[in-house]
Amino acid sequence: MEVEDCRKGTKVLLDNNPYNIEDAEFMKPGKGRAIYRFRFRNLMDGSSLERTYHSGEKLQEANITTREGQFLYREGDHFVFMHTDTFEQYLINETQLGNKQFYLKEGMIITTLFLSDRPLDITLPIFIETTVTKSDIATRTDTVTAQMKRATLATGLELDVPVFIKEGDTLKIDTRTGNYVERVVTKK
């Protein structure tokens, strides 16, 4: 695509890697050449870079789409997902998912960002509910502050929870912060 048509939010390929244009500045001396200064964010690893272009130059547009998918299971360092419309499966590896892997529950519906057919990233629901698989035994001390202890969840996430939480409890977690929100009371 022409550099003139690139703006904030346009997704492009630089050296075969997908980038989002985070900031676009148009500069031009009255009688002179137009200069475009872009700040790019790498959609794979989050790194950023700045480049300057002149009118007439071209950038390669990245074909970025989003599709709904379901998390099926983990296999080694890969996570297996399925398109909810075609039931085709696709894989995303551990490194690409980063911390998001610790919020994935089997059967969970998420949004996946694709570069052509290549899955790049997923968007999680803001809150998830999952069970405690391991928690320390609280050591009571004589303080009036809320007591917290470490716990591990079924998804693999480790976090601080209140002392009254027991193994097997279902918790509501904020995926943006990784923090405990509340205990979910399940009806027997």
Partner 1 sequence: MTDDERQRLARLLPNLKRRASIHQITRCFFDEQGFLEVDTPVRSPAIAPEKEILPFESDGWFLTTSPELYMKRLLAAGYTRLYQFSHCFRKGERGRLHNPEFTLLEWYRIGANYMDMMTDAECLVLTIARELGYGNLLQYRGKTIDLTIPWPRITVSELFHRLAGWDPVLNPDLSRFDEDMVVRVIPHLNPYRPTIMLDYPAPMASLARLKRDEPSVAERAEVFIGGLELANAYSELTDAKEQIERFHNEIEHIRREQGRTMPLPQKFLESLEHLPECGGIALGMDRLVMLFCDASSIDEVMPFTVDTV
For partner 1, the closer CB: 2 or 182 = 2
Binding site for partner 1 (CB under 8 A): 4, 25-35, 37, 52, 54-56
For the bound state, the minimum distance from the C-beta of residue 42 to partner 1, rounded and expressed in Å, comes to 23
For the bound state, the minimum distance from the C-beta of residue 23 to partner 1, rounded and expressed in Å, comes to 11
Q: Dihedral, CA atoms, 19, 174, 104, 112, nearest 10 degrees?
A: -30
Q: Who's near 137: CB < 8 A, 6+ residues apart? A: 149
For the bound state, the minimum distance from the C-beta of residue 61 to partner 1, rounded and expressed in Å, comes to 18
For partner 1, the closer CB: 52 or 63 = 52
Residue in the block written with tokens 């990245």: 62
Q: Dihedral, CA atoms, 130, 134, 140, 144, nearest 10 degrees?
A: -20
Do residues 171 and 185 touch, judged by C-beta distance below 8 A?
no
For partner 1, the closer CB: 35 or 138 = 35
Residue in the block written with tokens 């917290």: 148
For partner 1, the closer CB: 35 or 44 = 35
For the bound state, the minimum distance from the C-beta of residue 64 to partner 1, rounded and expressed in Å, comes to 23
